[in-house]
Amino acid sequence: MKEFVGLAFQCLNPSSRRRPKMRLVAAELDRILETEMSLTTIMGDGTAIITLGSQLFTS
């Protein structure tokens, strides 16, 4: 969750030059999701339904 919040704060930077590109945001969301899902599976609750963040940006 901390990584997600950190990414969200980066996206809110007033300077467009300091905000991450959408491609990077999608990749980071996928990476964070991948980590969360592996932790969920390890903990034994692997039945969660999760929508990939990058699916929002596919055409």
Q: What is the pLDDT of residues 31-46, one digit of tens each?
A: 999 888 887 666 665 5
What pTM did the predictor assign? 0.63
**Both structure tokens of 46:** 């692997």
Q: How many percent of the chain have pLDDT more than 90? A: 51
The pLDDT-based confidence of 59 (bands split at 50, 70, 90) is very low
Q: Rounded to whole angstroms, what are the CA distances from 59 to 1, 23, 26, 54? A: 27, 13, 14, 11
Q: For residue 47, what pLDDT is reported?
A: 54
